[in-house]
Structure 1
Amino acid sequence: MALGMVDARTPVLVGAGVAGQRVEEAGAGVGELELMARAVEDAAEGLGGLLQAVQHVLVPRGTWRHGDPGRWLARRFKLLDAHTTLAELGVLQQSLITRACADIAAGRADVVLVAGGEAAYRRLRARIAGVELVDPVADGVPDTVWAPGADILARVEIDRHLAVPARQYAVMESAIGAARGLSPADNAREIAALWKGFSQVAADRGDGVRGRVVRKRELLSPDGRNAWLASPYTKWHCSQMNVDQAAALLLCSAEAARRFGVDRGRWVFPTVAAEANTMVPLVARPDLGRSPGFAAVGAALGDGVRDAVHVDLYSCFPAAVRVQQHELGLRERAGRALTVTGGMAFAGGPLNNYALQATAEIADDVLAGGDGLVTSVSGMVTKQAGALWAGSPARGGFRAVDVSAELPSMAVDADYAGPARVVGHTVAFDQGRAAVAVAITESPDGVRTVASSTEADVLASMRHDEWIGRGVTVAEGTLRV
């Protein structure tokens, strides 16, 4: 479709900005609100008066405690009539972008700003040095608070050593490896090879957290600060949330882009976005290494998933990427990268803002040629989303697809006692030492629970031997061989 024929209500991304800092001196640099403002300025550069036409500001909550950061941004940029929304943790980051696009397509808004950011590293440096930070505070209550509809974790997971994300994703890794017929050692090597590739992308960009390519042996045999967290994960397998990064996306209708004289060379089109919001905790999933939600998202996005030249899969942990590879049909991607940034372990993973960062990067890549795919995860691959971006609009216009439906779920009984088999497991570490073996088990009649052991022989065996399918006994939450 020629750009001159673009329907007036077609949503278009016309400004994508990022901001970041890495300051070692305690108290130096700026806080998350100022970083967000810098990202907005970057996104709005060259757009004339379009920024002042923003009608809605959407912000995903981060590690900070601000009440209404959207209103703070609105006042900073004199967006006096803008409606503000704060999305709580558990709302997919893609959902904010999708809502902006859907509101524009439906005529409910002409110009929308989505922005978020963190200054977690700056706060960490100040806390270590005992320095009190005096930064702007965004008080007040947003016009809309967007909260998830259910809890991410099951009570038995919280009570039995499985509340930490690294442990949950490590359990997924055990199921993924077993399904592929890999020994624990071979599974760890495959994970390390995947993550080395991500670190290569970050190193090639020149702004990664590590500043270099991480070698496979460093992930397989950690040393120093790269300590074991949960087998097969070391610290460097995990999202690095202590970063100072912000991103801002300015979206508008094609009519508004024309009205404000936005250069056609800046137009990036969302063509389709899909998300699945049905929440099934890990312990209750029939297959711990699969995601029916992501399979449905991929089907809704269509052939554009495999045709996308530029791809960024949400990369909080390797298991998230491996699940997506399988469900989206990207396991054999012919040498093309699965990230444009280097991923959350190496480019940095601001707690609830990474999908905005990735979208900003994908937008630049799409402008250079080729379509783009960005995915998003909430929780432990508990919710799933993806969006396709292109240099021309989709025939029939932008589509927002909610693929949420009833998903299969196993019965869970925290009080179960008796024979069972292991369906997923990990060994959790404390200060680099193996502390507790944790397993999700299933009874002969299909009842799931979580059990653990601190026995030395179990700790040693579970790290190196195949435990998936092994028969055990569960009694009062204790794993007995």
Structure 2
Amino acid sequence: MVDPRTPVIVGVGQFTERLDDPGYRGMSAVDLATEAVRAALADTGADVAEVARAIEVFAGLRQFEICTPFADPPLGASDNYVRSVAKRVGADPARAVLEPIGGNGSQKVVTEFAGVIAAGDIEVALVLGSEPGSTAKYFSNRADKPDFTERVGGQLEDRGYGFEQYMSEYTAKHGLTGAPVQYGLLDNARRARLGLGVADYRRAMAELFAPFSKVAAKNPFSSSPVERSVDEIVTVTDENRMICDPYPRYLVARDTVNQGAAVLVMSVAAAARLGVPEERWVYLRGHADQTEQDLLDRVDLDVSVSARQAVAEALRVAGIGIDDVATFDLYSCFPFPVFAVCDETGVAPDDPRGLTLTGGLPYFGGPGNSYSLHGIAETVAEMRDKPGAFGLVGANGGVMSKYSVGVYSTEPADWAPDRSRELQADIAALPTIPVTRNADGRGTIETYSVRYDWPEITGVVIGRLDADGSRFMALSTDERLMALMTEGDPLGAKITVTADGDVNRAQLA
């Protein structure tokens, strides 16, 4: 017996549309999410219409196409994404919420509204997300492109864009305008700590991700269900071109997808009243959310304190240890987020339990901020098939900036609060590294990436000034330094840096 307010996941749904599908329809973000929500409603095993009417909160995860105020969605969009979906499934929630950007958002929002249910403030909530990026790209230069504009109005709690948490004017001017280059800095920092060469580390990344592709190849919701060997992932070709060092394309999250997912959570009392069979109930047994220091403030760029603390706290709340976890789905936009959790928990990269249930973002697909909804959906399905087992979902946002963890099981237990707020004080108390914005003098490369995705191949450096040990960023197209960055190993190399207006320029010393 558990408290009747205890939240349970009772329905999950996923949907994927591929360009080469025989029945490809070119669906909007709203339509993709609607298919996933319909699947989640059906997954409850209860009366679909009755359950839809009972939903009090629809919480949506923001798509890439509406992530900034700087550009309009290429094919148009709804003025209220969340209520457009609700309307299509016969729901009229009292509250509609649109979350800021961040891949941690899927788990964060599920945890948030599970807590609201446990407090007795509501009984039923739905979390949904979708991305139509593949369709947007397909129609970008076509005269017959659809118009996805909708005007539905209604209440919407728009929590803002949130991108300002992940970048600053200073980092943007120094090339950190996309995820591959940002994570390239982190993976190369980790390589420096381990003392591995370029080729050895790239093979380690490929060995980590090849098993992910094997899972994706068997997943009917994958955007790219193709198994890749270690050699395929390692070898740079026209198809597997370099994006940003150290990543060829097969190590990079696949963001041109058409995918949707939804998770339905309600109180035990509501589930019983609405006729959801108990075998559909999955409990959120552990949970935690942590926020990292800003990128340049971190003393160590090769670790994730937020992931360490979030995983440990979620396991504590669940009352289990890492060895008790039966399944994992770890956010895998690039190798670093997976390695970071492995490093902190002692889970081996080749752990026989596997580290993904979906197949990972480069192969299953990386539907923006909503990827981990798919991870939760797969975990719920696995827990139903393995009664009493525990599954862990790790969701990452920003530049390893936020980490949210959920531990799921059919094993009943009352809702237990976590100590995320108290633990956050530990991160706030960490030391920081001083940053020199306009740097001049000699320095050392701490970590680096190379932007192959720019018109001119450009090096991106985080370094330390010899004079005072302060950190700086710099760009480089210096011929000698670029040769070292693209053909050798510049970690620890001596450079000179010069301030050029708002941008620092580096060359080999």
- Aligned equivalents of 1:117, 1:181: Cα separation in 2: 40
- With 346-355 and 85-94 compared, the bigger mean Cα shift is at 85-94
Aligned positions of 1:9-88 closer than 5 A: 9-24=5-20, 28-45=25-42, 46-48=45-47, 49-65=50-66, 66-88=78-100
> Residue 325 of structure 1: CA displacement?
1.5
Aligned to 1:366: 383
**Aligned in 2, Cα 1:24/1:127: closer, same or farther, shift over 3 Å?**
farther
> Residue 396 of structure 1: CA displacement?
6.1
Aligned to 1:331: 348
Aligned positions of 1:253-268 closer than 5 A: 253-268=267-282
Aligned length: 475
Out of 84, 102, 107, the residue aligned to residue 115 of structure 2 is 102
- Aligned: 1:287 with 2:304: no
> Residue 62 of structure 1: CA displacement?
0.2
- Aligned: 1:478 with 2:505: yes
Aligned to 1:441: 463
**Aligned in 2, Cα 1:161/1:396: closer, same or farther, shift over 3 Å?**
closer
Aligned to 2:424: 404
- Aligned equivalents of 1:430, 1:126: Cα separation in 2: 22
Q: Tell me which amino acid in the other structure corresponds to 1:51.
A: A
SS of equivalent to 2:368 = coil
Aligned to 2:69: none
Q: Tell me which amino acid in the other structure corresponds to 2:332.
A: S
- Aligned equivalents of 1:164, 1:29: Cα separation in 2: 26
Q: Tell me which amino acid in the other structure corresponds to 2:398.
A: G
Out of 451, 464, 477, the residue aligned to residue 428 of structure 1 is 451
SS of equivalent to 2:165 = coil
> Residue 436 of structure 1: CA displacement?
1.2
Aligned to 1:227: 241
Aligned to 1:318: 335
SS of equivalent to 1:50 = helix
- Aligned equivalents of 2:163, 2:368: Cα separation in 1: 20
- Aligned equivalents of 2:476, 2:288: Cα separation in 1: 40
Aligned positions of 1:138-217 closer than 5 A: 139-140=152-153, 142-147=155-160, 148=162, 151-205=165-219, 208-217=222-231
**Aligned in 2, Cα 1:417/1:218: closer, same or farther, shift over 3 Å?**
same
> Residue 118 of structure 1: CA displacement?
1.4
- Aligned equivalents of 1:41, 1:284: Cα separation in 2: 44
> Residue 103 of structure 1: CA displacement?
0.5
> Residue 82 of structure 1: CA displacement?
2.4
Aligned to 2:70: none
- Aligned equivalents of 2:333, 2:323: Cα separation in 1: 22
Kindly provide the CA deviation profile for residues 262-290 of structure 1, in whole angstroms up to 9, marking residues without a partner as x.
10110000012101134412x33211111
Contact 1:152 1:279 in 2 (8 A): no
Contact 1:18 1:39 in 2 (8 A): yes
- Aligned: 1:378 with 2:390: no
Q: Tell me which amino acid in the other structure corresponds to 1:117.
A: S
> Residue 142 of structure 1: CA displacement?
4.4
Out of 331, 335, 345, the residue aligned to residue 362 of structure 2 is 345
TM-score, normalized by length of structure 1?
0.93
**Aligned in 2, Cα 1:217/1:117: closer, same or farther, shift over 3 Å?**
same
Aligned to 1:415: 438
Kindly provide the CA deviation profile for residues 338-376 of structure 1, in whole angstroms up to 9, marking residues without a partner as x.
000110000011111101111011100011112111111
> Residue 233 of structure 1: CA displacement?
0.5
Kindly provide the CA deviation profile for residues 39-76 of structure 1, in whole angstroms up to 9, marking residues without a partner as x.
11111112222221110110011024433212122222
- With 134-143 and 172-181 compared, the bigger mean Cα shift is at 134-143
In structure 2, stretches of 5+ residues that fail to align are 67-77
- Aligned equivalents of 1:241, 1:436: Cα separation in 2: 23
SS of equivalent to 2:473 = strand
Identical aligned residues as a percent: 28
- Aligned equivalents of 1:388, 1:138: Cα separation in 2: 38
Kindly provide the CA deviation profile for residues 222-276 of structure 1, in whole angstroms up to 9, marking residues without a partner as x.
2223211112211221111111110111100001111112101100000121011
Detail structure 1 runs of 4+ shifted over 4 Å in the superposition.
24-27
Contact 2:105 2:370 in 1 (8 A): no
Contact 1:10 1:398 in 2 (8 A): no
- With 98-107 and 447-456 compared, the bigger mean Cα shift is at 447-456
> Residue 331 of structure 1: CA displacement?
2.9
Contact 2:446 2:464 in 1 (8 A): yes
**Aligned in 2, Cα 1:80/1:219: closer, same or farther, shift over 3 Å?**
closer
Contact 2:125 2:264 in 1 (8 A): yes
> Residue 154 of structure 1: CA displacement?
3.0
- Aligned equivalents of 2:490, 2:95: Cα separation in 1: 52
**Aligned in 2, Cα 1:210/1:117: closer, same or farther, shift over 3 Å?**
closer
In structure 1, stretches of 5+ residues that fail to align are none
**Aligned in 2, Cα 1:365/1:254: closer, same or farther, shift over 3 Å?**
same
- Aligned equivalents of 1:408, 1:293: Cα separation in 2: 15
> Residue 307 of structure 1: CA displacement?
2.0
- With 117-126 and 422-431 compared, the bigger mean Cα shift is at 422-431
Out of 227, 241, 261, the residue aligned to residue 247 of structure 1 is 261
> Residue 140 of structure 1: CA displacement?
3.2
Out of 477, 484, 492, the residue aligned to residue 461 of structure 1 is 484
Contact 1:156 1:449 in 2 (8 A): no
Contact 1:273 1:400 in 2 (8 A): no
Q: Tell me which amino acid in the other structure corresponds to 2:385.
A: A
- Aligned equivalents of 2:168, 2:434: Cα separation in 1: 12
Out of 290, 308, 321, the residue aligned to residue 325 of structure 2 is 308
Contact 1:375 1:386 in 2 (8 A): yes
Contact 2:224 2:365 in 1 (8 A): no
- Aligned: 1:130 with 2:143: yes
- Aligned equivalents of 1:149, 1:185: Cα separation in 2: 33
Kindly provide the CA deviation profile for residues 110-147 of structure 1, in whole angstroms up to 9, marking residues without a partner as x.
00011111121122212243322133625536431224
- With 252-261 and 465-474 compared, the bigger mean Cα shift is at 465-474
- Aligned equivalents of 1:29, 1:457: Cα separation in 2: 47
- Aligned equivalents of 1:336, 1:464: Cα separation in 2: 36
> Residue 404 of structure 1: CA displacement?
2.3
- With 206-215 and 417-426 compared, the bigger mean Cα shift is at 206-215
SS of equivalent to 1:214 = coil
- Aligned equivalents of 2:155, 2:436: Cα separation in 1: 39
**Aligned in 2, Cα 1:304/1:261: closer, same or farther, shift over 3 Å?**
farther
Kindly provide the CA deviation profile for residues 191-217 of structure 1, in whole angstroms up to 9, marking residues without a partner as x.
111121211111133554443221223
Q: What's the C-alpha RMSD, in Å, of the aligned pairs?
A: 2.3
- Aligned equivalents of 1:139, 1:63: Cα separation in 2: 21
